[in-house]
Amino acid sequence: MGNVTECTNCTGCGACLCVCPVDAISMKESESGFLYPEIDEQKCTDCGLCKARCPILSYDSLIKSECRLCYAASASDEIRKNSSSGGVFSVLAEQIIKQHGYVCAAAFDENFILEHKITNDLNELGKFRGSKYLQSKAYVTYIQIEKLLKDKKKVLFVGTPCQVAGLKAFLKTDYETLFSVDIICHGVPSNKIFLKYLQEEISDVSNLKSFNFRDKKDCWNSELILSYELKNKDEKNYIKAKKSSYMCAFLQNLSLRKSCNSCPFTNTHRVSDITIGDFWGYKKDKRLKNDSKGLSVILLNSEKGTAFLSEVQANFNYIQKSNTKIAINGNIPLRMPFAAHKNSVQFFNNLDKMSLIENVKNCIDDRSDCAVINFWWSLNYGAALTAYALQEVINDLGKTCKIIDYKLPWVINLYKNSISENFAQKYLNLTGPCITDEDFAELNRKTEIFITGSDQVFRYKYIKYFFDKYLLGFANIDKKKIAAAGSFGIDCFECENEQDLDKIKQYFSSLDYVSVREKSGVSICRQLFNKNAEWILDPVFLIDRNKYEQMAAASKMNFNEKIVSYVLDENIEINKAYKYLQKKYDKDIVNIAKSGFSVEDWLCSIKNCDFFITDSYHGMCFALIFNKPFVCIVNKSRGKERFFSLLSYLNLENKAVDSVDELYDNDELFADIDYEHKINNQISEFKDMSVNWLKKALYSPKEVTKDDLIMKMNELNNEIITLKSEIDLMHKSNFLNKIFSVKKHRSGNTTHKVVCFLGIKIKFKSKR
Ligand SMILES: Cc1cc2nc3c(=O)[nH]c(=O)nc-3n(C[C@H](O)[C@H](O)[C@H](O)COP(=O)(O)OP(=O)(O)OC[C@H]3O[C@@H](n4cnc5c(N)ncnc54)[C@H](O)[C@@H]3O)c2cc1C
Ligand code: SF4
Ligand code: SF4
Ligand code: SF4
């Protein structure tokens, strides 16, 4: 039947948790602090109810209505003082409580955890007043609300549209006494981010008395101001939103929940009876009066909502009918969701690694410590995961990192909607597109360390036309340049072009730290480039295997009890070998090479298969990471050295064959691998050495060497030569103009052409 693990745009509404008949769902906090459902497979009966009721998975069947009427309104000054807009919430809430009903809305507890709470006490309304710009836990009230509704009590529920949708999806019944109000919603950061902000920039929460996200000290529609009070002091403290790291991150869409960036509720088909927000478009309606103390917009979406407003109309200080179009034009979330800031991935990656203020500043200034160039875009699982792993290990070592968005021109069309693009959007912290020299110059202004690697960034065949990029020729002289696990692919450097080789040697000499992925790379660097290089592991081994397991868990595919084949260069011989393996293991074989699977599916296939066969270097790496029995068919044209360098370090050379024929009746090839006592320890030792090398490279100071200066001088020299020849050309063309020119000359009604050759002028009468 399936369940809510299929919901990739989960809002955290919690409806699934409340409908599960066997309590198999709990809400777990992600690293960014947002809550997501987790299913206890032991308890789950696969009834499919959570999936059927999830308001995102069943969005089309949610009851929605188009907002029909629009009002501008404001409550008394007293109410508005502590309300974020015109105080509509309070007017509606008071009415419901006076009618012996209940109000459910968001309020902080004493630890500044935001949760929805239910009250029927007018005196308690104060704690609900005011917008709190973070996600509230609303689902904790759903069951109690249902009970009240079943008892025929009136209930006013106020929340974000996804919370209203969550409540309605849970209730399923359209209760006559439920009044639902949703707020126009920009999106939400997590409570974790807010607590980090309080702790780092405001106060320990134990000493915090109050926090107001929208203090109307000056007025409602001027600069946004926050305020707070401490328990041990009487005065109120004010902070301009633009000076608050938390608000900058919120308003610039760095810190929003992922679902907010593609929120399906940001339009005029509303799930509530009434929608409320700030009336930002008020200036466009001449009828409206704004006293700067707060003006709300009210959108009426249902008969019930319309009737409720006419009941309370007299309780407003000011109410005026307006135009729905004006409200929509003035408020973006009524038209579309806010796109995530381009550095949102970077923001969440670094949430626990640095202070909020530093993180936000880096993201907004678009700065990072490191920028990495490699083949992440090349429609290849290994390349994407290598880039990700390098980004993560650099982050783990305490440096911020971006992957340079530099793609070869001919892949740009293939890239759209590819596995690489989908992966990059989710997992890579990309720079802006780097195409022109100016883009690279801009990158230099925002980055201190440039890194090339890993993968075959040293293979001439692949970088022939772009070695200035892959060998970091674009990095300024004062920038640190690191090659991390660069691979030559084969055991030599196959460049025969002398000019290129000279240039490549110069680029190599200006690299500050060089490490290579294959052992043979060490001697290539020494002999050909006179450079000391360290042999280190491919970056995919340098991060916790957990990260890949989490990615694999996102796949819906099932590879249990299967042999998985990832062979890029298939042929008849391989197909015969598949039959042999099928028979040998008595298992089906799944060929994933041309499947178009996502990176998550690819990882899942290796992680969960019973046996793995591949001709891919990274296929082999992940078989090792997931401790799988495997065999490699060495792909010579793609680079044999890549396999044997690592396999011989692990004494596993016998797991690779040069040709398919060697597969048959080869007991050694299929013998068990002792991961537990041997291989994992060897990899772990090599990993420690590799991470230490990278750490040293990242943290050692940059020294500008004689080679750097010579190269810079050569570059400048070349630029001077080019400039000189351009100037010469200009002079020549001036001279040509002098000896030969054609001009038009007009006198009265007659036009002549004057041809001038070596100072002799000849006049022709022009034809009309
Ligand atoms: C996260 C967030 C984003 C918003 N984005 C916009 C926007 O882009 N444009 C716009 O016009 N208006 C936005 N609003 C709404 C606006 O800020 C006011 O909340 C709204 O106009 C109601 O104001 P009021 O004066 O009537 O009542 P207030 O007294 O300000 O009432 C606030 C009401 O909102 C509820 N509430 C407060 N915080 C939360 C929360 N985190 N989650 C769920 N419910 C909450 C309270 O429980 C209360 O019912 C947003 C509000 C929030 C909470
Ligand atoms: S499928 Fe059914 S039992 Fe399993 S988690 Fe969903 S609601 Fe619960
Ligand atoms: S959107 Fe709500 S119902 Fe759907 S999976 Fe997320 S928490 Fe569960
Ligand atoms: S933007 Fe959409 S998904 Fe995000 S909190 Fe608001 S309603 Fe929910």
Over the stretch 583-606, which tens digit does the pLDDT of each residue have? 989 999 999 998 789 999 999 999
Beta carbons within 10 angstroms of residue 301's beta carbon: 24
β-strand 102-108 against 155-159: which pairing, if any?
A: parallel
Helix (H) / strand (E) element for 495: namely none
Closest ligand (CA of 80): 1
* 206 plus 293 within the same structural domain: yes
Q: Is a pLDDT exceeding 60 seen at residue 768?
A: no
Q: What is the dihedral of CA 361, 697, 525, 450, to 10 degrees?
A: 10
Q: What is the 3-state secondary structure (H, E, C) of 580-601?
A: HHHHHHCCEEEECCCCCCCHHH
* 276 plus 293 within the same structural domain: yes
Number of H helices, E strands in the chain: 28, 30
- Alpha carbon separation from 764 to 220, 679, 737, 751, 754 (Å, rounded): 76, 91, 19, 9, 6
The SS3 of residue 239 is strand
pLDDT band at 721 (very low <50, low <70, confident <90, very high): confident
In the chain, how many domains are there? 5
Residue 346 inside a domain? The answer is: no
> Which pair of tokens denotes residue 686?
């090599």
Residue 701 inside a domain? The answer is: no
Q: Is 552 in the pocket of ligand 4 (CB under 6 A)?
A: no
Domain boundary among 541, 558, 589: 541
Q: What is the pLDDT of residues 601-636, one digit of tens each?
A: 999 999 999 999 999 999 999 999 999 999 999 877
For residue 636, what pLDDT is reported? 76
Q: Is 259 in the pocket of ligand 4 (CB under 6 A)?
A: yes
- Contact between residue 483 and residue 451 where contact means Cβ atoms under 8 Å apart: yes
Q: Report the distance separating Cα 502 and Cα 499, nearest Å.
A: 5
Residue 339 inside a domain? The answer is: no
Residue 170 inside a domain? The answer is: yes
CA of 4 to the centre of ligand 2 (A): 8
* 286 plus 167 within the same structural domain: yes
Q: What is the pLDDT of residues 433-481, one digit of tens each?
A: 999 999 999 999 999 999 999 899 999 999 999 999 999 999 999 999 9
Beta carbons within 10 angstroms of residue 29's beta carbon: 13
pLDDT band at 313 (very low <50, low <70, confident <90, very high): very high
β-strand 114-119 against 178-183: which pairing, if any?
A: unpaired
Domain boundary among 623, 652, 671: 671
- Contact between residue 142 and residue 168 where contact means Cβ atoms under 8 Å apart: no
For residue 206, what pLDDT is reported? 96
For residue 754, what pLDDT is reported? 79
Task: Give the domain range for residue 468.
Answer: 366-541
- Contact between residue 149 and residue 171 where contact means Cβ atoms under 8 Å apart: yes
Exposure b/e, 151-177, CB count within 10 A at least 16 = b: eebbbbbbbbbbbbbbbbbbbeeebeb
pLDDT band at 762 (very low <50, low <70, confident <90, very high): confident
- Higher-confidence residue: 523 or 720? 523
Domain boundary among 541, 566, 591: 541
The SS3 of residue 158 is strand
Q: Is 379 in the pocket of ligand 2 (CB under 6 A)?
A: no
* 186 plus 271 within the same structural domain: yes
- Contact between residue 73 and residue 319 where contact means Cβ atoms under 8 Å apart: yes
Region of poorest pLDDT, from 242-251, 267-276, 759-768: 759-768
Dihedral angle sign, alpha carbons of residues 149, 73, 132, 257: positive
* 326 plus 373 within the same structural domain: no
Q: What is the dihedral of CA 405, 409, 414, 420, to 10 degrees?
A: -20
* 115 plus 78 within the same structural domain: yes
* 16 plus 69 within the same structural domain: no
Q: What is the pLDDT of residues 25-80, one digit of tens each?
A: 999 999 999 999 999 999 999 999 999 999 999 999 999 999 989 999 999 999 99
For residue 766, what pLDDT is reported? 63
Residue 88 inside a domain? The answer is: yes
Closest ligand (CA of 266): 4
Q: Checking phi first, is residue 189 left (phi over 0); if not, alpha (psi -120 to 50) or beta?
A: beta
* 75 plus 53 within the same structural domain: no
- Contact between residue 744 and residue 751 where contact means Cβ atoms under 8 Å apart: yes
Q: From the CA of 2, give the closest atom in ligand 2.
A: 1
Residue 32 inside a domain? The answer is: yes
CA of 18 to the centre of ligand 3 (A): 10
Q: Is 160 in the pocket of ligand 4 (CB under 6 A)?
A: yes
Q: Report the distance separating Cα 755 and Cα 761, nearest Å.
A: 6
> Which pair of tokens denotes residue 379?
């429609």
DSSP letter, residue 455:
B
Closest ligand (CA of 30): 3
Composition of the chain by helix, strand, coil, percent to 5: 45, 20, 35
- Alpha carbon separation from 9 to 19, 44, 134, 250, 257 (Å, rounded): 19, 21, 18, 19, 10
Q: Report the distance separating Cα 322 and Cα 136, nearest Å.
A: 31
Q: What is the pLDDT of residues 163-206, one digit of tens each?
A: 999 999 999 999 999 999 999 999 999 999 999 999 999 999 99
R_g over Cα of the chain: 33
Q: From the CA of 338, give the closest atom in ligand 4.
A: 1
| Residue 207 burial (10 A CB sphere; 0-12, 13-18, 19+) | exposed
Q: Report the distance separating Cα 682 and Cα 362, nearest Å.
A: 38
DSSP letter, residue 676:
I
Q: What is the pLDDT of residues 639-696, one digit of tens each?
A: 788 899 999 999 999 999 988 888 888 888 899 999 999 999 999 999 999 999 999 9
For residue 727, what pLDDT is reported? 82
Q: Is 257 in the pocket of ligand 4 (CB under 6 A)?
A: yes
CATH of the domain at 21: 3.30.70.20
CATH of the domain at 631: 3.40.50
- Nearest-5° Cα angle at 702, 697 to 703: 125
Closest ligand (CA of 86): 1
> Which pair of tokens denotes residue 760?
């002799």
Position 711, amino acid:
M
CA of 555 to the centre of ligand 2 (A): 18
| Protein residue closest via CA to atom 8 of ligand 2 | 20
| Protein residue closest via CA to atom 4 of ligand 4 | 260
Q: Is a pLDDT exceeding 90 seen at residue 720?
A: no
Q: Is 264 in the pocket of ligand 3 (CB under 6 A)?
A: no
| Protein residue closest via CA to atom 5 of ligand 4 | 187
Q: Is 22 in the pocket of ligand 2 (CB under 6 A)?
A: yes
The SS3 of residue 614 is strand
| Protein residue closest via CA to atom 3 of ligand 2 | 44
Q: Is 13 in the pocket of ligand 3 (CB under 6 A)?
A: yes
Position 442, amino acid:
E
Q: Among residues of the chain, what percentage have pLDDT more than 70?
A: 99
* 153 plus 273 within the same structural domain: yes
Length reported for the chain: 768
* 263 plus 303 within the same structural domain: yes
Q: What residue spans of 609-699 are helical by DSSP H? A: 617-625, 636-639, 641-649, 680-699
Q: Share the mean pLDDT of the chain.
A: 93
Residue 686 inside a domain? The answer is: no
CA of 2 to the centre of ligand 3 (A): 14
ipTM of the complex: 0.99
Q: Is 12 in the pocket of ligand 1 (CB under 6 A)?
A: no
Q: Is 129 in the pocket of ligand 1 (CB under 6 A)?
A: yes
Q: Report the distance separating Cα 641 and Cα 189, nearest Å.
A: 48
Q: Is 263 in the pocket of ligand 4 (CB under 6 A)?
A: yes
Residue 584 inside a domain? The answer is: yes
* 374 plus 456 within the same structural domain: yes
* 102 plus 118 within the same structural domain: yes
| Protein residue closest via CA to atom 9 of ligand 1 | 184
The full DSSP string for 505-552 is HHHHHT-SEEEESSHHHHHHHHHHH----EE---GGGSS-HHHHHHHH
Q: Report the distance separating Cα 471 and Cα 711, nearest Å.
A: 13
Mean pLDDT, rounded, for 419-427: 92
| Protein residue closest via CA to atom 3 of ligand 4 | 260
